[in-house]
Amino acid sequence: MPGGVGDFTRILAEQFRAHGHEVRVLSRAGTASETVPVSTVDGWGLGSPRQIRAWLRHVNPDIVNLQFQTGAFDMSPFIHFLPRLADVPVVTTFHDLRFPYLFPKAGPLREWIVMRLARRSAGLITTNHEDDLRLNAMPKRRLIPIGSNINRRAVDRQEIPALRARLGASAGAFLLGHFGFVKAIKGIHYLIDALARIRRDGLDMRLVFIGGRSNTVDGGEDERYLRDLDERIRQLGLASAVHWTGFLPDEAVAACLKAVDLMVLPFTDGASYRRGSLIAAIHQGCAILTTEPVVDIGTFIHRHNLWLVPRHSAESIQIALAHLLSHREQLKVLSAGATELSKHFDWDVITNETVALYEACL
């Protein structure tokens, strides 16, 4: 299944198997795995509870872990009643606490149905500080971050110039990188505006979008945003300064992350543990510019492991880029800080913490 939740579930399942546990996965039609047994449902609509019950009877698990993200279940209300469908403890991992659509003017019912899922679950895993604060009254809750879905790759320095050339960067250019699907919440339009201003000052700065442009599961608003972004790039005369790699295998993504001078991830809702693209860049030891978190995250330290700028501000990004362009020694500090920070997102730690919560719920 494309996207961060799919990648996270795949890696976590493989980690469990490596630790001697047996894993079965239920997902949407079209999902597949070479390493983990996967069953599928036609969709998450009215018929899904019956299919889920039949699968549970067949698998007979000790525990069920719901990898919950509203969008991943087509905004369907039925998945919120999983604890009633299962005869064993259900642990819910909240990748976000956004509420489902349900129906027009659903109002408070949208929040009620998500919080009901939290209350009825035997245990809760939050992946980020924002959601952990909202669930702080719930028992048997742990904050366990997501890990990187991109493995580290050692890149020979001699490979870098040729790789940068393929990414559209000349020898003296300053190469910015962005990783992850293109959505409005990623704040990329602010980055594009900042890049245009920098280049108008005569500086050779370029931008590469690493990986696929969009998630096949999502559409609508995200597709419109992508079309608008393409038009913005054209109007600002940036077409020759922006390169799109398209979908890449993990090894190629890791190499690209190593080749850029600075990763820029200007999330409109701020830097967060919920952002897989940020975690991947941290894991690779990249120098990273991103936006200030909306809540206090003690591990994110400005100028040490991340360069933090205000949200919703092309001007702030422009000023930061100009500073880092003329103070390149700071990039080495940020890279070393990110490498140190990456220890918080180690997959063995994530696996052991998750298993410990399962045992507490059993």
173 and 30 fall within a common domain: no
CA atoms within 13 A on the CB side of 235: 9
Tell me whether residue 100 is in a domain: yes
| Spatial distance between the Cα atoms of 244 and 212, rounded to a whole number of angstroms | 8
Give CA separation, 40 vs 6, 36, 125, 218, 224, in Å.
13, 13, 24, 19, 30
pTM of structure? 0.86
Q: Is residue 152 part of a domain?
A: no
Q: Which domain holds residue 52?
A: 4-147+346-361
Q: 220 and 264 in one domain?
A: yes
Report percent pLDDT > 70 for the chain.
94
| Same domain flag for 170 and 240 | yes
- The verdict on residue 210 lying in a domain is yes
pLDDT of residue 207: 98
**Residue 350 lies inside a defined structural domain of this protein:** yes
CATH number of the domain that residue 103 is part of = 3.40.50.2000
Average pLDDT (266-284) is: 95
Q: What domain count does the chain have?
A: 2
For the cut 90, the answer to whether the pLDDT of residue 216 exceeds it is no
How does pLDDT run across 303-325, given as a tens digit for each residue? 999 999 999 999 999 999 999 99
Whether 9 is in a domain gets the answer: yes
- Do 108 and 179 fall into the same domain? no
Q: Are 141 and 263 in a shared domain? A: no
Do 178 and 101 have their domain in common? no
- Do 70 and 162 sit in the same domain of this protein? no
Residues 264 and 319 in one domain: yes
What pLDDT score does 159 carry?
87
Nearest C-alpha neighbor of 8 from the set 68, 63, 60, 53: 68
Query: Do residue 188 and residue 271 come from a single domain?
Result: yes
Whether 337 and 351 map to the same domain: the answer is no
For residue 107, pLDDT beyond 80 = no
Distance (Å, whole) CA 166 – CA 314: 27
Least trusted range by pLDDT, from 211-220, 240-249, 264-273, 313-322: 211-220
Considering the domain boundaries, does residue 168 fall inside one? yes
331 shares its domain with 351: no
Phi, psi of 122 (to 5 degrees): -70, -30
pLDDT tens by residue, 17-49: 999 999 999 998 888 898 999 999 989 999 999
Contacts of 20 (CB under 8 A, 6+ apart): none
Q: Are residues 340 and 354 in the same domain?
A: no
